[in-house]
Amino acid sequence: MGKELYSQYANDLARFDLGLELLVYGFSTKGGRHIFEVSNPGKISSHNLRGYAAIGSGSLMALAALTRRPMPPDLTNTIYRLLDAKFSAETAREVGKRTYVITMNATGKFGIMAQTNIEKVRAIWEASLKEPEPEEALELIKQSQAVKAISGAEP
């Protein structure tokens, strides 16, 4: 093939972009959890330490939702938190609303959440975003120098 042709192919391969990112989660044979990201051009990033990750154009909003509170230890709450992250990520214009929830246990048995239930959870989640800020917190802010100094009230 020759050194020059090999070099050209190697350069072309290094610049090749599949146009996708992968987020992989699984278990080792000893039961350890592993989560890693594969991005262009074949770069692998471990997310084992944090225990969760997000990819794509909505990843910053998804990660913000996930880091807002500690992850719960049970599956039901974890699924809600993941849906919260997905719904939050939809503020990015490239993230669609179609959402799937598929679970699998160590033996390979899987379950699928019905689309109607996902949409009901979405409606509940959206309603929770419309709830007013806590009055107790607003009152503390109102009484602070940060507000009084700006509004012209005496300290």
pLDDT one-digit tens code per residue, 125-151: 999 999 999 999 999 999 998 988 887
The full set of domain ranges for the chain reads 1-53, 59-155
Output the DSSP codes for the chain: --HHHHHHHHHHHHH---S--EEEEEE-TTS-EEEEEEETTTEEEE-TTTS----STTHHHHHHHHHTSPPPSSHHHHHHHHHHHHHHHTTSTT--S----EEE-TTS-EEE--HHHHHHHHHHHHHHHTSPPPHHHHHHHHTSHHHHHHHT---
What average pLDDT does this structure show over 64-85?
93
What average pLDDT does this structure show over 64-84?
93
**Is the pLDDT confidence value at 50 over 70?**
yes
pLDDT one-digit tens code per residue, 1-29: 677 888 888 887 777 777 788 898 888 88
Q: Which pTM was predicted?
A: 0.76
